[in-house]
Amino acid sequence: MKVGVLTVPLSGMPLGEALTYLKGLGVETVEIGCGGNPGKAHCDPDVLLHDTAEMKKFKDTVRTSGLEISAFSTHNNPVHPDREIAAEADRDLKNAILMASETGVGLVNTFSGCPGDCPDSRYPNWVTCPWPDDFGKVLDYQWNDCLLPYWHKTAAFAAEHGVRIAFEMHPGFCVYNTASMLKIRGQVGPALGANYDPSHLFWQGMDAIASIRELGDAIYHVHAKDCRIDPANTARKGVLDLLHYSDEIHRSWVFRTVGYGHDVQTWKDIISALRMVGYDGAVSIEHEDSLMSVREGLEKAITFLQDVMISEKPAAMWWA
């Protein structure tokens, strides 16, 4: 496995400068945003896919840095009930797939998206419980009329270009936990897998190790991000928290730099479980710790991961 970084928090730096900074810290791979919420600061497919010279410049910048690209990322909602929003998200995703194909990266990280509750909806509707029975009808519409048709088509497009798609399992979207990830993969196929981010599972009360074991070879990419559950706030109001992320002291949970939500042993167990299911790719730091600056959060996370990472698996043991 290799220590990686999602470069989006460094979007104020030119790509070459950001890569030089990360290389100097011992980072081995980078994940690059190219549309949607990650933005296009370091990679604008609208330019690169139509300008041979700019594409060569981009590739040369990455190659000379000595770093590898683990994935391209575009996080948005391609099944949004607003057709303009959905179309923009779909265009960004298709461009990310083309970038992954053109550069030989072969992987795009994204969200599954979440539709509305009917064809006339204006906003997404995330269902969180089975009753009243209306919710079951909403889920049937979302999965069978929206989600599966879209992802069958998009997975086929990705496969034609030699690219896999990894869903970040995130509440608010139809694929938010292990069960929903395996459900869509089972119906669409192995073109879809998981961008495993334990922080989103921690605040749902899930066991990160159990999730890794269940997902197995469906894990295509890993995000290193932690989550701190506040016991006092959670005891009062549970984990479905609508307070703004900046109101840390009153929230039930907050995203943290790795090691500030769960201890070293937990992260050693995560890395070991990933190794046991055969994962040997990037562990990409996604800095979203609102209590730390970008540089402090990244540098502490890099140092932490370098200590817990398993870089090599032995070819054979002495007793074999």
Q: What integer pLDDT is reported at residue 316 of this predicted model?
A: 74
Q: What integer pLDDT is reported at residue 46 of this predicted model?
A: 96
Q: What integer pLDDT is reported at residue 317 of this predicted model?
A: 74
CA distance 181 to 219: 10
CA distance 267 to 226: 9
For range 265-287, the mean pLDDT: 97
193-222: pLDDT as tens digits: 999 999 999 999 999 999 999 999 999 999
What are the residues whose beta carbons fall under 8 Å from the beta carbon of 63, sequence distance 6 or more? none
Q: What are phi and psi of 173, to 5 degrees?
A: -120, 160
Q: What integer pLDDT is reported at residue 272 of this predicted model?
A: 97
pLDDT at position 167 over 80? yes
State the DSSP H helix or E strand holding residue 154, giving kind and residue range, or none if neither: helix 148-160
Amino acid sitting at position 239: V
Fold of 2-308: TIM Barrel (3.20.20)
Domain locations along the chain: 2-308
Q: What integer pLDDT is reported at residue 298 of this predicted model?
A: 98
State the DSSP H helix or E strand holding residue 271, giving kind and residue range, or none if neither: helix 264-276
CA distance 89 to 234: 34
For range 144-160, the mean pLDDT: 98
Amino acid sitting at position 218: A
34-58: pLDDT as tens digits: 999 889 999 999 999 999 999 999 9
Q: What integer pLDDT is reported at residue 318 of this predicted model?
A: 67
- Computed over every residue of the chain, the mean pLDDT equals 96
For range 77-90, the mean pLDDT: 98
Burial class (CB in 10 A: 0-12, 13-18, 19+), 204: middle
